[in-house]
Every structure is written in structure tokens, then in C-alpha cells.
A and B are shown apart, each in its own frame.
Chain A
Amino acid sequence: MSATRTIGETLLSVDNISLSFGGVRALTDVSFDVRQGEIRAIIGPNGAGKSSLLNVINGVYHPQTGTVRFRGEVRDRMDPHHAAAQGIARTFQNIALFRGMSVLDNIMTGRNLKMKSTLLEQAIYLGRNRREELEHRAKVEEIIDFLQIEHIRKTPVGRLPYGLQKRVELARALAAEPLLLLLDEPMAGMNVEEKQDMCRFILDVNDELGTTVVLIEHDMGVVMDISDRIVVLDYGRKIADGTPAEVRANQAVIDAYLGVAH
């Protein structure tokens, strides 16, 4: 990790979150914080509630109890698109790209909050709207360069292999220039080389742009390597919270992952 990175104040704090779907308790009393500029990993066995936690942060689910505090302000019953407007971008475990649209168009939708022209200006197109489109297209091309997906720029996303779709989703999230990036299993289904590439992208984004990253990941090697701090969930509860070294030695984590001997 680069010495020029600075980890700052608390950017996001999640306090006593409980979330149930009918009788199913997805999260019980989960609290942790994320500091500006750090890479925070959320790990745990399948079904532990990791994606649900991300959905709560993003505004897709509304918890029954508990608060989410982003940039110092408590957020109340927010929609995903309000969360996006606040500077939170995310990727999804099962990929939520616009399948019928090309890679370029998908990433351009990531820029939509930054575009300012009105409906009438867009109907006329020439003039302000066209200039704006070209500006944003230039920015998007930078991201495409960075993630090395130039060769599939015009391909409809539905035709791409899974690994490339994940990269396109990352590009779309980056296009919004977010303060907080939520990544849900960004390396699922990738081989060693692709995982190394993805790690490098995430580290670069965190390093050069100072973007705070919260990521859910199952590959322990990756998690231990790139995260600053880790939260461990099991059956909807937090069972550990700390640096990779602390978490690795934690008995409760070992029990949850490796099972308790009978």
C-alpha cells in the first residue's frame, strides 16, 4: 500500500442495524464505521447478510431499527437514486447492467448525474448538449482505458462473458466519481490473473482518487491483502471487526468459517 494514502474521518457509520423480512432476520444489531479513504472488507459465510448490509447502505432495503450516517448526516428512508446522488456507487453480485445497451452506453449512464442539460436542450441536441456529451464521453474513455475494455466498447453487454461484465459494472460505478464505492463480490468467477487485475484497479482507484471502498469478497487471500480493516458477519451478526491480522487470529471467526470440532 502506498505511503501517500491518508485515512481520514468517519465517512459512513452504521449503528444498530436490524433488518428482517417477515420472520427471517437478515441482520441483527450490526454496527461499524468506515473511514474516508480506507478499503473496508465485509466477509462471512454465505447467507450471513453481507449483501443485505450493502443494500441497507445503498437504500434498497430500509432497516426496521438502526441508523445509517453518511458524511455526518443521518439518512432516513432513502431511495437508491438518492444514495447515488449523495455520492454512493455500487456494483451487484449478480450484475445489474443494462443488457440491451452497449458497454459505452452503460458507462455513460453512470455519468448521468453529472450532466446538466435540460429536456429542451437535449431535444435540439446541437449546442450545449453536444458539448456536454463530448466532455463526458472523454471522461468515460479515460475509464475505459484504465480498465482495459477498449476492445468491447460497442458490444451489447448481454453478449459479454461474466468476468468482462463485472469489469463494465465497475466502470459504470467509477464513472459517477463516487465518494463511496460499494463492491459486491467483484472477483467472483475470475481466475488468478483476472483477480490480480481487479485488485490492481481497486487499489489504483483508492490510491489515486481517494475513493473509499467497501467490498464483499470470498477470496481470503485478496481480502487479507488489500483491505485496511475487516468486518466479519455470521448469521446476521457482527462477530469481529479489525485489521486483517486481528481478524485472522480471532477464534470466533475461525469457528464460523472452519466449523467447531464435535
Chain B
Amino acid sequence: MSFFFEVLIGGLLAGVMYSLVALGFVLIYKASGVFNFAQGAMVFFAALTVVGLMDKGVPFWPAVGLSTAVMVALGVLIERFVLRPLVNQPQISLFMATIGLTFLLEGIAQAMWGANVRGLDIGIEDMPIEWLLDHLRINVSKFDVAAAVICAVLVTVLAVFFSKTRIGRALRAVADDHQAALAVGIPLKQIWAIVWAVAGFVALVAGLLWGARNGVQYALTFVALKALPVLILGGFESIAGAIVGGLIIGGSEKLAEVFLGPYVRGGIEGWFAYVIALLFLLVRPEGLFGEKIIERV
């Protein structure tokens, strides 16, 4: 029985990591209606910048601070050179622009900091919590728990931000109707710059945690692919959905691998999330917390 809980908790905590990446997608989609294909590349770019700076001798926290500044600047640049020329263009054009952005970011990151795999130590060890191991015989990693706490804090801040502040409301308004937002006095360009900068910061946090877990390497960009089932489950515009979706995907994935895996010779972990996403698309396409499409005819 304790083995079941161990797998479940491990799965849930892995799910939290997926949520962190999904959160970046949700932010940009919620605030500008654009599906940012480049989010994975942003995670990679952020993590690589931190380790690159640390390689040059910059200590951990200053490196993180500098990287935050870099990601914010990146957000402003993306708004200026990628989004602004495409105002009022169809959604698909914006989506394609983010695909191009992916290649650009991956290339620049590797050109600047090299393509080697690098380890990242953020000071939290990947060791079991002794108390739980001794008393309940459950093996839960300290690192996973720390990641969960960080994610929880980030999510709370973002949720409050979106629902109760001026800029949060402005972000939602801009996603809904550009012209109306302009007419009410919301400065479109500033808002977009803000949202991409915040998404960049979230990408940095995700990059640090994933980089510490798997090493900072090109494969980090594919972490974003796992976020897709999370978004489908939770809804593209919902912060709560990103968390719940992540937990469901992470938990069910691990449980399926461990308990159903032996019957199908293993390998479930790779595709199980997508099968769940497929089922959800058939049954509830807008996701658990997504906005229902309102059409008043």
C-alpha cells in the first residue's frame, strides 16, 4: 500500500513540474490569445543562460537575477519585433511566428552558450525525506516537494494577479477584444510586453527546476510537448486548470506505468498522457476549467 502512495505522490510531484511549463502557455494564451509554440525554447533559453553565466564564474543567485533581466528584455523584444507587426492578423499567423521564434531561440542559446549538456545544482538535493522514509516507509524526494511549493506560490500569485488587479484585468481584456481595450485606454503594446516578460520569468523558474532534475540540454525544449496534454485537460486559459491538469497527468502517468506497464511490456509513460488528452477532446474539448464557448445567436 505504501508503494502505491509512493508512486502516486511521485507522479503528482512530477505533474507539478509539467504544470510549471503549462503555466507559461496559459499566461500568454490568456493575455493575448496566442498559443506560444516557443515556450519550450524559452525554458531552454532561460536555463542555458543561467548555467552559461555560472560557467563564467557568476554565483547562482546573481546569475538568476541577470537571467531574469534577460528574459524580461527578451519579452520586450519579442513584443516589439514579432507581435507588433502582426497586430490584427489571424491567429494562425501569430502561431507560425512563434514556431519561427522557437528555432531562433534554440539556435541563439546554443550559439551563445554551447551545446554541451550541463548539470545544474540549485541547492536542493534529490534525496528522500528522512522522516517519511523512517516512519511511513514512503520515498519522497525533497527536490520534488520543494518544486511543488515553488509552483504553489507562483500559481497563487498569478491567480490573484489575474483576477484582482488592474494589469491582470487589462491582460484578460486584451485577449478578448483589442479595439475595445484600446478604447478603454489600455496600452496594448505595454501589456503585451508585460505578459511576455512574466511568461519569460515563469519559463526561467521551470527551466531551473527541470534543468536541475534532467540536466540542461537541448532535450529540455521537448518538455513543452508534455505540457500540451496538461493544457487540453485543464483548459488553455485557466491557471487552476494548468495545476489540476498537471497533477492528473503526472499522477495517472506514473500509476499507469507502474501498475499497467507489466501487462503491456512497459513504455506506457511515453504515450499515456496523450491518450488521456485524446479522450478529453472527445468528451470535453474546452478542458476542465476552460472557458465555455458562448454563442448568442
A interface, CB within 8 angstroms of B:
58, 60, 79-81, 84-85, 89-90, 92, 96-101, 105, 108-113, 115, 117, 119, 122-123, 125, 129-130, 133, 156, 158-159, 172, 176
Let me know if A81 and B187 touch, CB within 8 A. Answer: yes
CB within 8 A of B157: which of A98, A110, A123, A133?
A123
Chain B 160-201 interface 0/1 with A at a Cβ cutoff of 8 Å (1 = within):
110011111110110111011111111110000010000000
Let me know if B176 and A98 touch, CB within 8 A. Answer: yes
User: CA of A89 to CA of B180 in the docked complex: distance in angstroms?
Assistant: 11
Let me know if B176 and A81 touch, CB within 8 A. Answer: no
Let me know if B179 and A60 touch, CB within 8 A. Answer: yes
CB within 8 A of A117: which of B166, B176, B183, B184?
B166
From known contacts A112-B166, A112-B169, A125-B164, infer whether A90 and B183 are also in contact, taking CB-CB under 8 Å: yes
User: CA of A125 to CA of B177 in the docked complex: distance in angstroms?
Assistant: 26
Contact partners of B294 in chain A: CB under 8 A: 99-100, 156, 158-159
Q: Nearest Cβ distance between residue A82 and chain B, in whole angstroms? A: 8
User: CA of A110 to CA of B180 in the docked complex: distance in angstroms?
Assistant: 10
Let me know if B176 and A108 touch, CB within 8 A. Answer: no
Contact partners of B183 in chain A: CB under 8 A: 58, 60, 80-81, 84, 89-90, 92, 96
- 8 A-B pairs within 8 Å (CB atoms) are namely A81-B181, A90-B183, A100-B291, A101-B172, A117-B166, A122-B165, A125-B157, A176-B185
CB within 8 A of A125: which of B160, B172, B173?
B160
From known contacts A80-B183, A81-B188, A100-B294, infer whether A109 and B169 are also in contact, taking CB-CB under 8 Å: yes
User: CA of A101 to CA of B291 in the docked complex: distance in angstroms?
Assistant: 10
From known contacts A84-B184, A96-B179, A99-B294, infer whether A133 and B164 are also in contact, taking CB-CB under 8 Å: yes
Q: A81-B181, A96-B183, A112-B169 are in contact. List 8 more A-B contacts (CB 8 A).
A: A81-B183, A85-B185, A92-B183, A108-B169, A112-B185, A122-B166, A129-B165, A158-B296
From known contacts A96-B177, A125-B160, A133-B165, infer whether A81 and B182 are also in contact, taking CB-CB under 8 Å: yes
Closest 4 CB pairs of A and B: A84-B185, A96-B180, A158-B294, A122-B165
User: CA of A158 to CA of B185 in the docked complex: distance in angstroms?
Assistant: 21
Let me know if A97 and B185 touch, CB within 8 A. Answer: no
- Which of the listed residues B160, B164, B185, B194 has the most CB atoms from chain A within 10 Å of its own CB? B185
Binding site secondary structure of chain A: helix
Let me know if A100 and B194 touch, CB within 8 A. Answer: no
Let me know if A113 and B185 touch, CB within 8 A. Answer: yes
Let me know if A112 and B161 touch, CB within 8 A. Answer: no
Q: Which residue of B lies closest to A182 (CB)?
A: B183
CB within 8 A of B172: which of A58, A97, A100, A113?
A100
From known contacts A100-B176, A100-B294, A158-B296, infer whether A81 and B161 are also in contact, taking CB-CB under 8 Å: no
Chain B 215-229 interface 0/1 with A at a Cβ cutoff of 8 Å (1 = within):
000000000000000
Q: Nearest Cβ distance between residue B269 and chain A, in whole angstroms? A: 36
Q: Which residue of A lies closest to B175 (CB)?
A: A100
Q: Nearest Cβ distance between residue B88 and chain A, in whole angstroms? A: 12
User: CA of A35 to CA of B182 in the docked complex: distance in angstroms?
Assistant: 26
Let me know if A97 and B187 touch, CB within 8 A. Answer: no
Contact partners of B175 in chain A: CB under 8 A: 100
Let me know if B194 and A98 touch, CB within 8 A. Answer: no
From known contacts A98-B173, A101-B176, A158-B296, infer whether A109 and B186 are also in contact, taking CB-CB under 8 Å: yes
- B125-184 interface with A by 8 A CB criterion: 157, 160-161, 164-170, 172-173, 175-177, 179-184
Let me know if B182 and A112 touch, CB within 8 A. Answer: no
Q: Nearest Cβ distance between residue A89 and chain B, in whole angstroms? A: 8
User: CA of A58 to CA of B183 in the docked complex: distance in angstroms?
Assistant: 8
Q: Which residue of A lies closest to B183 (CB)?
A: A80
Contact partners of A90 in chain B: CB under 8 A: 183
- Which of the listed residues A60, A79, A85, A112 has the most CB atoms from chain B within 10 Å of its own CB? A112
